[in-house]
């Protein structure tokens, strides 16, 4: 690694003005600096001071100068900053992950000794105190607990991969609460990089131990002046590949080999004096060095730097680590690190320079710069074609095999065999709409479509089409598939049922509306809009004035060559369908109430009523029918709610589960057979079933129920049926004689 001077953040003073500690936030946004005046300074990643605040004593009566800051540490989420003080107190400030937050004290941890060191933990911080205790500070419960205790002051603390190590003034070294070894001198510089423990002290010697057994593996004596051999501080780089030790008038920088060997070289910084603290930035490109004289210097780690087409700057931090930065600063810098290879030897950009493919000798690293995600997958050889942006995933095709990789996961989701790799006939949906689901739609051949569930690896199904398919796309839920063939016919495929339906002809442009199940398509004469693809019969046709549709977003369709530049979509129906699709029926009703009479929303109220009845929300269904003025349905459902409340002793939901109420809902849905079953079999009330059929003038069904359940009333029912027929014939003056039922 090469380190070169970048800038001086704080100038050295003419007197002793030691900087207590420095630390970078894990999100690489802030550098915190604690001065001897008990002030915390905050710098951004470019080295500009953006903020500062004064700390406070644990006991206000002791005075503002009754303490000094001993250590600093950001939490793992970068929102909290722990400040350890010599008055046996650790204050935790909420500073925010960016620069918009307001600084407030959210936790106070009084201790029995002075907190000498501070490190981030999963739910707070770890600290080592002057009385030899290693404690955990839980910011959620605001409680501290002792992890282990040694007999001497803690002078160093290190953490890596869930393990914690501490060094004490009597030379003892603990790992995970277990005494590992006794060092000859106080281990002031301590680094834990599993499986190694690196120790430095005032004799200028660096020792590498096996972290589990305490076996000495290597002892290194770097070339340092005889009178200034103290190793004052130490910090590993985020990748664990490099280590920096603070010494007098400079720092030692070394590369950690897999064998445990460390190659140390001295970076001399004249007039720096003692380097009290060193800290790496989260991306490993900057090393901050703080001195006893109050100076703060920022060094830059770079092997090589180049710019791709004035769009992306590539900085080689080390052989295994890159930093990709958009020149336009329209995305956060992306750190690329290989975990399985010694170096990255090739980088190329695709997808309008928003995606990168980095190659090692055994892996491919796929990078999404906009979202800050990388995926490293095993890969050997070349000749592949990479499609970077297909529904939030990356597709790799080679030798007839198509591999699907989700950005952020270091594995291939699934591999299928296909020769049809045009992005227009590939569709991937990864965790869209807030749900955990992953689907791939592709062509097995020119006329056969296959859909695969990437979570289970099970094929949802295969469908043959009458003509060659030249475009297809899944909706966000992965339950609907649109496909267009070379005859310009647009087909809709419902995956749960497997039904396929031709919904339009002569289609050129077609697109799903984002975050909805709405579809926009254009024919030579009209623009077609389906606000819900689940109901393909409900289509709206709009004139485009000779324009050609270019793109559709959540509110409008952009047109080219028309008098108007765009065609406005019905926002009310889109918003309603989105809420309905998510199952938020109450939210749908609230939204329609807010629209009022400014728009024709009666069809939406009826659609909501049908969905409410499917979900057995009778009260909401009654409200919907009331809004559209359907008095008959409103009266029936209101009466059902009243009877359900009586059946359930005031609990409408419980009452609706009674057989009689289930029968009423079946009658409302027009399913008299289900209502009969509820009355006769579940409620044992055949008389109610007979009365129901009589009310609907279904005398034959009423007599059939009586013959099965109440034979004593059959003769009476037949006579009533005869009287009904004679009466209606007389009233209507029918030319036909009444139908006579033969009574056996």
Q: For the segment 358-387, what is each residue's pLDDT rounded down to a tens digit? A: 999 999 999 999 999 999 999 988 889 999
- Mind giving me the DSSP string for 141-153? TTEEEEEEE-SS-
What tokens were used for 207? 């020792």
At residue 734, the pLDDT reads: 47
Give the integer Cα–Cα distance in Å for 222 and 229: 9
Whether 115 contacts 131, CB under 8 Å: no
At residue 233, the pLDDT reads: 93
At residue 743, the pLDDT reads: 46
47-70 burial: b if 16+ Cβ within 10 Å, else e? eeeeeeeebebbeeeeeeeebbbb
What tokens were used for 443? 């062509």
**Quick one: pLDDT band at residue 253, thresholds 50, 70, 90?**
very high
Report whether pLDDT(735) > 60: no
**Quick one: pLDDT band at residue 599, thresholds 50, 70, 90?**
low
| Selection from 128, 197, 179 nearest residue 157 by Cα | 128
- Phi, psi for residue 355 in degrees, rounded to 5: -130, 150
| Selection from 108, 190, 111, 172 nearest residue 146 by Cα | 111
Report whether pLDDT(312) > 90: yes
CA dihedral 25, 64, 139, 112 (to 10 degrees): 120
At residue 733, the pLDDT reads: 64
Give the integer Cα–Cα distance in Å for 582 and 434: 10
283 three-class SS: coil
List, for residues 463-482, the tens digit of each pLDDT value.
999 999 999 999 988 889 99
Report whether pLDDT(661) > 50: yes
Q: Please compute the mean of the pLDDT values over residues 91-117 and round it to a whole number.
A: 93
What tokens were used for 559? 């047109």
Report whether pLDDT(489) > 90: yes
Give the integer Cα–Cα distance in Å for 166 and 6: 33
Cα R_g (the chain), whole angstroms: 37
Q: Which residues lie across from 300 on neighbouring strands?
A: 4, 286
List, for residues 322-337, the tens digit of each pLDDT value.
999 999 999 989 999 9
Report whether pLDDT(595) > 80: no
Q: How much of the chain, in percent, has pLDDT values that exceed 90?
A: 52
Report whether pLDDT(742) > 60: no
Report whether pLDDT(549) > 90: no
- Mind giving me the DSSP string for 562-623? SSSSEEE--HHHHHHHHHHHTT-HHHHHHHHHHHGGGS--HHHHHHHHHHHHHTT-HHHHHH
List, for residues 7-58, the tens digit of each pLDDT value.
999 999 888 899 999 999 999 999 999 999 999 999 998 899 999 999 999 9
pLDDT, mean over the chain: 89
The answer to whether the pTM exceeds 0.85 is no
Q: What is the 3-state secondary structure (H, E, C) of 172-185?
A: EEEECCEEEEECCC
Whether 306 contacts 298, CB under 8 Å: no
Identify the structural domains of the chain with CATH numbers, from first to last.
3-301 (2.130.10.10), 302-410 (2.40.128), 570-657 (no CATH)
Q: Cβ contacts of residue 190 below 8 Å, gap of 6+?
A: 156, 157, 158, 165, 166, 167, 173, 197, 198, 199, 200, 234
Give the integer Cα–Cα distance in Å for 276 and 279: 11
Q: Please compute the mean of the pLDDT values over residues 89-101 and round it to a whole number.
A: 92
Q: Please compute the mean of the pLDDT values over residues 511-523 and round it to a whole number.
A: 88
At residue 744, the pLDDT reads: 45
Q: Please compute the mean of the pLDDT values over residues 666-671 and round it to a whole number.
A: 87
Give the integer Cα–Cα distance in Å for 704 and 694: 12
Report whether pLDDT(220) > 80: yes
Whether 127 contacts 117, CB under 8 Å: yes
Q: Cβ contacts of residue 664 below 8 Å, gap of 6+?
A: 640, 643, 675
List, for residues 192-217, the tens digit of each pLDDT value.
998 999 999 999 999 999 999 999 99
- Phi, psi for residue 147 in degrees, rounded to 5: -90, -50
- What DSSP element (H or E) covers 528? strand 527-530
């Amino acid at each position: 690694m090469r380190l070169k001077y970048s800038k001086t953040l704080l100038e050295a003073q003419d007197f002793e003005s030691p900087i207590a500690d420095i630390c970078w936030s894990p999100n690489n946004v802030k550098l915190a600096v604690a001065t001897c005046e008990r002030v915390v300074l905050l710098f951004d990643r470019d080295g500009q001071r953006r903020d500062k605040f004064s700390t406070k004593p644990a006991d206000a009566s002791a005075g503002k100068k009754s303490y000094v800051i001993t250590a600093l540490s950001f939490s793992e989420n970068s929102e909290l900053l722990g400040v350890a003080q010599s008055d046996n107190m650790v204050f935790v400030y909420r500073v925010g992950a960016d620069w918009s937050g307001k600084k407030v004290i959210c936790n106070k941890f009084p201790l029995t000794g002075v907190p000498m060191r501070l490190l981030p933990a999963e739910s707070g911080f770890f600290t080592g105190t002057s009385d030899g205790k290693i404690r955990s500070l839980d910011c959620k419960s605001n409680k501290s607990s002792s992890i282990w205790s040694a007999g001497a002051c803690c002078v160093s603390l290190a953490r890596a991969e869930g393990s914690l190590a501490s060094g004490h003034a009597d030379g003892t070294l603990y790992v995970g609460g277990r005494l590992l070894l006794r060092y000859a001198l106080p281990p002031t510089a301590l680094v834990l990089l599993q499986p190694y423990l690196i120790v430095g002290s005032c004799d200028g010697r660096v020792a590498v131990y096996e972290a589990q057994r305490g076996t000495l593996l290597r002892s290194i004596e770097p070339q340092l002046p005889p009178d200034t051999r103290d190793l004052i501080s130490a910090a590993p780089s985020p990748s664990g590949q490099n280590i920096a030790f603070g010494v007098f008038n400079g720092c030692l920088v070394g590369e950690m080999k897999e064998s445990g060997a460390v190659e140390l070289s001295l970076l001399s910084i004249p007039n720096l004096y003692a380097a009290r603290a060193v800290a790496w930035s989260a991306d490993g490109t900057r090393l901050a060095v703080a001195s006893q004289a109050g100076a703060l210097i920022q060094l830059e780690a770079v092997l090589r730097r180049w710019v791709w087409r004035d769009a992306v700057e590539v900085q080689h931090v080390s052989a295994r680590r890159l930093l990709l930065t958009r020149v336009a600063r329209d995305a956060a810098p992306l750190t690329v690190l290989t975990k399985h290879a010694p170096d990255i030897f090739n980088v190329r950009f695709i997808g309008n320079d928003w995606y990168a493919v980095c190659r090692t000798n055994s892996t491919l690293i796929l990078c999404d710069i906009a979202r800050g995600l990388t995926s490293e997958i095993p890969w050997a050889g070349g000749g592949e074609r990479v499609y970077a942006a297909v529904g939030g995933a990356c597709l790799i095709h080679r030798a007839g095999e198509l591999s699907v990789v989700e950005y952020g996961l270091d594995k291939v989701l699934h591999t299928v065999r296909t020769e049809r790799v045009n992005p227009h006939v590939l569709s991937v949906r990864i965790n869209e709409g807030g749900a955990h689901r992953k689907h791939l739609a592709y062509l097995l051949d020119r006329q056969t479509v296959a859909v695969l569930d990437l979570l289970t690896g099970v094929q949802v199904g295969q469908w043959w089409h009458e003509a060659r398919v030249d475009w297809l796309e899944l909706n966000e839920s992965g339950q609907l598939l649109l496909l267009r063939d070379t005859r310009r016919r647009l087909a809709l495929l419902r995956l749960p049922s497997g039904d396929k339906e031709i919904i339009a002809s002569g289609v050129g442009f077609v697109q799903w509306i984002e975050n909805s199940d709405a579809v926009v398509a254009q024919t030579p004469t009209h623009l077609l809009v389906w606000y819900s693809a689940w109901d393909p019969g409900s289509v709206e046709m709009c004139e485009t004035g000779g324009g050609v549709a270019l793109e559709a977003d959540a509110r409008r369709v952009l047109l080219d060559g028309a008098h108007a530049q765009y065609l406005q979509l019905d926002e009310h129906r889109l918003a309603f369908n989105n809420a309905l699709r998510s199952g938020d029926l109450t939210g749908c009703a609230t939204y329609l109430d807010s629209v009022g009479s400014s728009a024709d929303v009666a069809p939406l109220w009826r659609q909501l009523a049908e969905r409410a009845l499917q979900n057995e929300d009778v009260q909401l269904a009654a409200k919907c029918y009331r809004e559209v003025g359907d008095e008959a349905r409103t009266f029936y459902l209101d009466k059902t709610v009243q009877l359900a409340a009586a059946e359930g002793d005031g609990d409408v939901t419980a009452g609706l589960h009674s057989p009689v109420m289930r029968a009423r809902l079946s009658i409302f849905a027009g399913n008299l057979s289900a209502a009969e079953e509820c009355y006769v079999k579940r409620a044992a009330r055949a008389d109610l079933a007979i009365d129901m059929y009589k009310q609907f003038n279904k005398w034959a069904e009423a007599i059939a129920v009586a013959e099965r359940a109440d034979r004593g009333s059959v003769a009476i029912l037949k006579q009533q049926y005869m009287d009904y027929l004679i009466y209606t014939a007389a009233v209507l003056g029918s030319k036909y004689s009444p139908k006579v039922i033969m009574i056996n």
